[in-house]
Structure 1
């Protein structure tokens, strides 16, 4: 029996001939209880299609091959005279009753211009995909269906909707023509919403027919930049089409600005597909701007009513529906992975014990830091050893970080050590209390034992699961001799490295185990911190990363060192030019220290032990014995072996450090030996890793046998390890509170007179010369602020200053001093040598004694003196750069000459003038002159590149990926 045929119905099927779904779609059309009169098959390529099923049903089939770029153009090419037009995608197979139900509903009312079927899954017809479209005025669709939601008739009562999709849409052809036809710029996304909205604006109804169903494969919804870009572009297109005329231009600009920002945001959550899609959508919107104007005119001509606005959803609907779907998905996932009740209870108890252990460890570490540095609380700052006072603010540090000139003494090309850049946040906080970098370092040293303990507690979770064992490991690391020795020596770099090392090693181990990029990102952050504390560490980590990349055939390993290299780039450049001593150089001042015995150094006390030496050496020996016994264990054998590799590397680094000098100790004018803190910290970390690996599961193993020698050895080692942090802390506290047993003391107060401080802060940038008599001469330091600064170390003197001092007592001394911008001369201390020096200064022309105070005796230089001068005129200046109004003549800068100093007037670089040592230029005409030091790592594009590389690690280190 032949099924009746629907008169006046034209079916238009659009798609490529290569579609794997097209043949099934055509067969479904032919098998329908009602079939169209005609079918126009619009193919988007030159392939052939089997249409015998359609011809057997008596459907007149025509194949059309237009040059269409969008489905809107394709549908337009497929239109013909008919009462009804039925739209189908190549991947949308209608159910047998689909056309019959759509036609029946449309015939029931002449107001209905479009009817759409319920869309279900291609392979699973019980899966709901779409039952009409709810959308906001801006074209954002309201998510109404959970992924994989089943059809249980929950939407079968729905009829009038804002829009329906074009897959299976039945159109009244006359209404379509009156509305202006299809939009040639849209499709396959957004075309159904745009057309339905136009039909409703023309006074027609748009309905969904839940009894009619179409299986839709949604082949266009691929997870590609092109697919997402077309979806996002269509949404922006329809929003601009619908926007009021005064708002549309502003909205267009907003979309153009927001698209790159949205791309960056998606990139930050590792959604690279949609990040590229955002950019593609913006470019497409720009390309379709003319089509958009035509679409707005088309909508305006079709509009006779705005009553359809009541069907438009709001932004609140979108947010609430997305939140509900996200919540339901999360709850379902939790239910699927919910463990049994007893497992949850045990896990909660373990978390509580872990939190309690971490809290106790933090309190004990903080107490140790407070007890060690409480004597310096009145000064709220530290000086001595590797530390100098520094009054730099957070802003000063940031400016110095992007400068290629070090303002110390007569100046020299250089960089800010990266560790002080890391101190910017803490310095910023200290600034609220009137503090600066000195106070920030004091707070850091006080918190160092606590931070070290928590770092070890966190990292030990990779090897040990017992909260008690992790607490013991954290306590040992918080009171480890290398940390306590570095705190007493004022070596900020060694202290920071000691804190970071456990986290660095743990993150590298996680990256070896897992291919998740977040582990590489985490390792990159700790590599950055380790490189800032000890720049040579980047070389060792780079060797490891290259080896891991080769072994695992994973080039992503190279990323581990890229952010750290970008951050510490200037320090690495200096390191490469000053090998081999730079391999063991740490940030901070160079200092001398008395070396202890070989065994004391290996135990982590480089300066020897003043109190309880045998006890502390014995505690270290017990830890080493426990690590050796761990080699006999089968469990965590790999961790134990890795621990001993670290011990070997740490020992080798310590041996190298003990053979190198790293510069001149300016306070004693002798060579300063390298501080072996990094090697000792690495050695102790290796011992603790071996101990942790050996202790894993030890109690369970011992419980299987009776009392034996093994039990006694384990008990003795356990007691020794437990006693190590107690003995170490007690010995260190006694030592640091003793006389002369620590290199670190109170940060001094003001070291220059008030007039010198005023000159230094004024735009003239006057400097202070400190003179101290020595055997056979004078020790001189040229200060730009309140004494030598931690962040502005370097060549505080030089041949030029020495030549000036040689003229002390002569008539031209003051003029020569003014060339160095010296305005005040300070002679500290008392004694016959100081008096003789004072008599010499009193007899020097244009040098006037001012007064004597607890700082010392100081003199004023009575000739014009400043950083930038022209003749006898002192011009205002910044710390490094300067902008001055100059007259014709020679312009001099009291900085050591360097080819990268430039002076520019009206965009033209000035010619250099002759000067024995200073930077000087010849000014030909009056005007504003800008003096800058450019080049190297101070160039803006280099700084930008460094910032981008570091910021890029935020994306890499995120522990999740967008879905």
Structure 2
């Protein structure tokens, strides 16, 4: 074992408290190092003097405080002549090797000639039986994984030499010729993940990285545990670690895998940032965003690093991907993050419980049950099973809508564009669409843009999740939001399934009512937060008030009617319970956040009854029978027969017979009556949208959802009485069984009818594009029957068709369109040209309309098919001038963003515990 030449390099930086023991351990090896040299990176605690006393002044190199670990090693090696068979032993100032560590490392290197990097098993500096590392791996987003349980002790369970993706630079033994061939440690990685990058490149060069378990070193991890200041980089340690993690993974992965890693990092960082903000950890949230931005905003650095690592990268990846964290670990990590957040502890990094090594074939089966057990436990939860079942029901029922090229129809305009287009539309001052408008864009556009951003910027995917996925989302929200209200799991499952499959949900999907679908998902959350708001714990009630206000603002952006309904209930709750401050907070947040848009309702208060999307009379049942409202059927396409919800009505009526819990029965029926009365009133009002067009009655879906929620909570809270009747035996047992069967008939019949009939309505996955191909890029008057629309350049985005149009301009276009269809040409064509219109398109033109337009010299016939005809105006159009932008618009947008962030922080939830008040009422 005396043949190899070993050069030990100890790098110190303000580590005097550990350095003495480290130097003693290095110099006391049973197989001594041939050369021991030191490098001090500008220490101010006497570390340099310790190095010189132990190693001699000529064997210590003094460097600046900004020098990183890799740069220090490179400086030392640059002054030492390389030997023919030389190994470099890298040591931190806080890493004390066992007396036989170097011997075992060299013995392992002799056994395996392909091993070029070897590392010891690392234990904790203080608790010397506690394992720190036995090799390290990462997932494809750069999250570090040690393969150890939290506070796992060394009991010989990891003995033996194992191939690993990386070993720590603390105690790393490297062949010098391989070090020089791969370029050593990247000097741009001052700290953290520099060892991972080096080992990855060594593996790409065809060598092995081995963790030698008989070699032991004790590591304090001073930098990672914030036990000393880091001066090699100006970044915060957590930010630096996260940045380097993403950079190393994306620099070393092949191109395709790198693209997937980029997507994973963007989505993962966004989720982590959101959790940090909600958990009131703004510094960690900033670090996450800054780390991601540092990588994305410097593509040249990443491109340069990828070019330097291109040799052997693709070939080496086939072996390296076996060493990456197993894919199932991502679910475990996400579960740990969410569970820590829900427990009020904030999002905490997982301890890394997946093995970082490749086990022999006989041990591979031991890894599978661990992940499978987690997935099995997760998938066996009642709420998860319910959501999956509702997802399957929705996918089967929506079979005719899914997979089409263009989703739209009914109240939903054809979904086009990307999330960036929606953000631009929401932020711009003048909207050059239709006849042009300088009004504020509907705020729900920002919500849809944010959701679409999470789905890779695809607007169609975000809208599909919100609309087509509203049934499983509503079931999940109802199940989770009522966990502190309804302790019994079976009752919650019934409530969630019955709520998700109400006629309001299926009717909203069939008619393309995006606003109702979103509010329908949020209503159970409103109920859960409302109960928490009445909690006796002030901090919990205060957070619930801010959270309710924030989510109520989201619902109001889609359907302002929900704010009116909840405001009435809020005032009644103030009178009954006296929670004035919390309720006032919840009711004040939406008007403040949505003020620039809501102020437009002052002149047209009736528009508060409308929701997001188009408003067409064909979507409303003109003669809605009374029994329809009493069975929570709001009318329109896609609704089941009235007897589907008869079971819910029957069980709610049966609850009136219970003498106990009269307060619950009274509140439940009171909310139901309130919702039905509001639905009757709403269904009798005729409203015209600010964008003009045909007058239509408001849809009573949201009030009926309120009413159904009251009865569902009532029945679920009194369900335990059925268990008492069943236990009594005899006739009471039969009554209980019949009552349960009747109650479950509602979700079963609703799901069966929806699956059998499908999504019957105007919503379609193959909606034709309303913009004529011959008129793209111009302002076009589109005539459809007795109605008209002005299109400009392209198909309108979500929300553009709802922008208010000046009444004078709208009336001018209406008179000109009527004149053209009637055969009066000159003046009407000049009016359209003055408004910037260049083309006239007619959907399914009748022969008399075609003849009238062809007979006018001011129009040139371009095309005519059975579905559409297009004419061009001869007179050149006038240029539409944009009005001056409101100087207060940008400050108000910034104020909106700041207020939203503030409310989000104030609404951060703490530990979730059952409310004693709720439990007492439930009993």
TM-score, normalised by the number of residues in structure 1: 0.50
1:213 counterpart (213, 216, 241): 216
SS at match of 1:321: coil
Task: Tell me by how many angstroms 1:417 deviates.
Answer: 8.0
Query: 5 Å matches for 1:382-781?
Result: 393-395=414-416, 463=486, 470=493, 474=497, 478=501, 492=513, 496=517, 500=521, 504-505=525-526, 534-537=559-562, 572-573=597-598, 576-586=601-611, 588-589=615-616, 625-626=653-654, 632-633=660-661, 643=668, 646-647=671-672, 650=675, 653-654=678-679, 657=682, 662-663=687-688, 674-695=698-719, 697-703=720-726, 765=780
**CA distance in 1: counterparts of 2:470 and 2:17, whole angstroms:** 65
Task: Tell me by how many angstroms 1:93 deviates.
Answer: 0.6
For the Cα contact (< 8 Å) 1:116–1:170, is it kept in 2?
A: yes
Task: Tell me by how many angstroms 1:863 deviates.
Answer: 3.7
Task: Tell me by how many angstroms 1:321 deviates.
Answer: 2.4
For the Cα contact (< 8 Å) 2:820–2:829, is it kept in 1?
A: no
Q: How has the CA–CA distance of structure 1 residues 662 and 466 changed in structure 2, closer, same or farther, with 3 Å as cutoff?
A: same
**CA distance in 1: counterparts of 2:250 and 2:841, whole angstroms:** 72
Q: Partner residue of 1:819?
A: 830
Superposed CA deviations along residues 319-360 of structure 1, whole A, max 9, x for unmatched, are 112356968849679669979xxxx99x97989997999699
Q: Does 167-176 or 275-284 show the bigger shift?
A: 167-176
The CA RMSD measured in Å over matched residues stands at: 8.5
For the Cα contact (< 8 Å) 1:824–1:861, is it kept in 2?
A: no
**Where do 5+ consecutive residues of structure 1 fail to align?**
1-7, 244-249, 300-305, 374-386, 425-436, 608-612, 730-743, 748-756, 771-779, 829-849, 867-872, 877-883, 903-933, 958-963
Task: Tell me by how many angstroms 1:277 deviates.
Answer: 3.6
2:320 counterpart (295, 300, 318): 318
SS at match of 2:706: helix
For the Cα contact (< 8 Å) 2:651–2:739, is it kept in 1?
A: yes
Q: Does 328-337 or 681-690 show the bigger shift?
A: 328-337
Q: Partner residue of 1:25?
A: 22
For the Cα contact (< 8 Å) 2:508–2:517, is it kept in 1?
A: no
Q: How has the CA–CA distance of structure 1 residues 419 and 207 changed in structure 2, closer, same or farther, with 3 Å as cutoff?
A: closer
**CA distance in 1: counterparts of 2:417 and 2:153, whole angstroms:** 59
Superposed CA deviations along residues 427-469 of structure 1, whole A, max 9, x for unmatched, are xxxxxxxxxx9xx99xx99x99999999978988884756688
Q: Partner residue of 2:68?
A: 70
**CA distance in 1: counterparts of 2:246 and 2:762, whole angstroms:** 65
Q: How has the CA–CA distance of structure 1 residues 678 and 157 changed in structure 2, closer, same or farther, with 3 Å as cutoff?
A: closer
Q: Partner residue of 1:741?
A: none
SS at match of 1:14: strand
2:882 counterpart (900, 910, 927): 900
Task: Tell me by how many angstroms 1:92 deviates.
Answer: 0.6
Q: Does 1:13 align with 2:24?
A: no
Q: Partner residue of 1:44?
A: 42
For the Cα contact (< 8 Å) 2:117–2:173, is it kept in 1?
A: yes
Q: Does 1:90 align with 2:122?
A: no
**CA distance in 2: counterparts of 1:759 and 1:109, whole angstroms:** 72
**CA distance in 1: counterparts of 2:413 and 2:633, whole angstroms:** 32
For the Cα contact (< 8 Å) 1:415–1:570, is it kept in 2?
A: no
Superposed CA deviations along residues 589-631 of structure 1, whole A, max 9, x for unmatched, are 3699889999997775899xxxxx9999999986665566679
**CA distance in 2: counterparts of 1:203 and 1:706, whole angstroms:** 75
Q: Partner residue of 1:864?
A: 857
SS at match of 1:900: coil
**CA distance in 2: counterparts of 1:668 and 1:134, whole angstroms:** 61
Task: Tell me by how many angstroms 1:15 deviates.
Answer: 2.3
For the Cα contact (< 8 Å) 1:114–1:196, is it kept in 2?
A: yes
Q: How many residues align?
A: 740
For the Cα contact (< 8 Å) 2:647–2:744, is it kept in 1?
A: no
**CA distance in 2: counterparts of 1:675 and 1:267, whole angstroms:** 40
For the Cα contact (< 8 Å) 1:590–1:662, is it kept in 2?
A: no
For the Cα contact (< 8 Å) 1:647–1:687, is it kept in 2?
A: yes
For the Cα contact (< 8 Å) 1:118–1:132, is it kept in 2?
A: yes
SS at match of 2:222: coil
Instruction: Give the structure with higher Rg (CA).
Output: 1
Task: Tell me by how many angstroms 1:175 deviates.
Answer: 12
SS at match of 2:11: strand
**CA distance in 2: counterparts of 1:179 and 1:596, whole angstroms:** 77
**CA distance in 2: counterparts of 1:349 and 1:181, whole angstroms:** 49
Q: Partner residue of 2:278?
A: none
**CA distance in 2: counterparts of 1:728 and 1:206, whole angstroms:** 59
Q: How has the CA–CA distance of structure 1 residues 935 and 128 changed in structure 2, closer, same or farther, with 3 Å as cutoff?
A: same
**CA distance in 2: counterparts of 1:818 and 1:579, whole angstroms:** 32
For the Cα contact (< 8 Å) 2:816–2:831, is it kept in 1?
A: no
Task: Tell me by how many angstroms 1:682 deviates.
Answer: 0.9
Q: How has the CA–CA distance of structure 1 residues 392 and 263 changed in structure 2, closer, same or farther, with 3 Å as cutoff?
A: closer
Q: How has the CA–CA distance of structure 1 residues 332 and 571 changed in structure 2, closer, same or farther, with 3 Å as cutoff?
A: farther
Q: Partner residue of 1:383?
A: none
Task: Tell me by how many angstroms 1:316 deviates.
Answer: 1.9
Q: Which has the higher strand share?
A: 1
Task: Tell me by how many angstroms 1:689 deviates.
Answer: 1.5
**CA distance in 2: counterparts of 1:210 and 1:802, whole angstroms:** 84
Q: Partner residue of 1:841?
A: none
SS at match of 2:322: helix
Q: How has the CA–CA distance of structure 1 residues 286 and 494 changed in structure 2, closer, same or farther, with 3 Å as cutoff?
A: closer
